[in-house]
Copies of this chain bind each other. A is one copy, B any other.
Amino acid sequence: MNISVATYGSHSALQILKGAKDEGLRAVLLCPRSRRRLYERFRLADELILVENVEDLLREDVQRNLTSMSSILVPHGTIISDVDIKRFVKDFKVPIFGNRELLVWESDRELKEMLLREAGIEVPRAFSSPDEVDCPVIVKLPGAEGGRGYFVASGRDDLIKKLRKMGVRMNRGLYIQEYVIGVTVYPHFFYSPLREEVELLGVDRRYETNVDSLGRIPASDQLNLNVQPTYEVVGNIPLVLRESMLEKFFDIAERFVEATKKLVSPGMIGPFCIEAICRAPDDIVVFEFSARIVAGTNLFINGSPYSYLLYGEGMSMGRRIAKEIRLACETSELEKIVT
């Protein structure tokens, strides 16, 4: 069997392809026609399958093609956001690296919260009505998508005033969450079912427009400008964590893995991210998780301080995935890492 690694041309595809090649596996790119030029610049794909969009991965000929190349698909954020993920995990018959069921859980707010609760991880409080609010909140308006349609309110009265001003009468569809004041950190973990171990491979913070540009506008000008914050990810900035905080994050990561094993058999496989706000070094709130590779790992295509400690040079998350696939092939344990 001559396994190949396939992914869709977006999000973190470059490092997934590069990682596959560095581990001696064939790299297959499901490339949106409009991005052919982009991916050809990097000369990383051994095979290029042109498609129109993510939906096309469900096309029978595409799946047949992948199967004929013994491909394992590495899913990433675009696959989750751009298709009906429930249908995808049901109808996509090619093996997926990771637990496909978890992708559904990741994209459903209620399942997501259930998983974090099961793991005993502190999350921001949610409020079902503006009247209940007793702290600063961030509010997601109905239909908000991809970082737009949010606003901050300092408390109940401010929230009610702002909703009225926006002409929002009904509370239906509003998502009101505690606004935790603190810095964000996004540690990138990898759970190896072969080694039964959680690894930390990097940390970043997101670089979001326009919210990360506000700090450069003097407060007095901000008041005049009346800017509405948006949270659209444009890129990522590398971080390291205070070493004495690592333990706490590993603890959260392991409890998360345990919870997935309990609720979403066979549990976590491969990369995940615990998206957290630090009120203080020992006061960490998790507002989100990703149960697959995150784009912040693109910072470390040439290795991170943490991956260097574990693997020496050049171990990206993409390569770590390919390495797990290669090891599983060698020991005939592929069934442990694909679903």
Contacts and interface: CB of A to CB of B under 8 A. Distances in A.
B230 A280 contact: yes
Interface string A3-24: 0000000111111001000000
Interface in A86-134: none
Nearest to A300: B305
A181 B229 contact: no
Given A215-B216, A226-B220, A280-B232, A309 B42 contact: yes
Identical copies of this chain, number: 3
Given A215-B214, A222-B219, A10 B244 contact: yes
B183 A234 contact: yes
A155 B224 contact: yes
A67 interface: no
A278 B181 CA distance: 25
Contact of A224 (B38, B154, B185, B216): B154
Size bracket of the A interface:
35 or more
A237 B239 contact: yes
A207 interface: yes
Contacts of A175: none
Say what secondary structure dominates the interface of chain A.
mixed
A229 to B, nearest CB: 6
Interface of A: 10-15, 18, 34-35, 37-38, 41-42, 44, 78, 136, 148, 152-155, 158, 181-185, 197-199, 203, 205, 207-230, 232-247, 250, 277-281, 295, 298-310, 313-314
Given A225-B181, A232-B280, A281-B233, A214 B216 contact: yes
Given A183-B234, A232-B281, A240-B299, A42 B216 contact: no
18 contacts: A136-B225, A183-B208, A183-B209, A185-B234, A185-B235, A209-B281, A212-B215, A212-B216, A219-B219, A219-B220, A230-B280, A234-B241, A243-B298, A301-B305, A301-B308, A302-B307, A302-B308, A313-B313
B239 A207 contact: yes
Contacts of A208: 183
B302 A305 contact: yes
A222 B308 CA distance: 40
A154 B35 contact: no
Contacts of A34: 247
Contacts of A229: 216, 218
A38 B244 CA distance: 10
Which of A181, A230, A233, A243 is packed against the most chain B CB atoms within 10 Å? A243
A223 B239 CA distance: 29
Contact of A305 (B184, B210, B220, B298): B298
A10 B313 contact: no
A250 B155 CA distance: 44
A339 B233 CA distance: 41
Contacts of A42: 309-310
Contacts of A280: 148, 209, 230, 232
Nearest to A198: B41
Given A222-B219, A229-B216, A234 B245 contact: yes
Contacts of A242: 233-235, 295
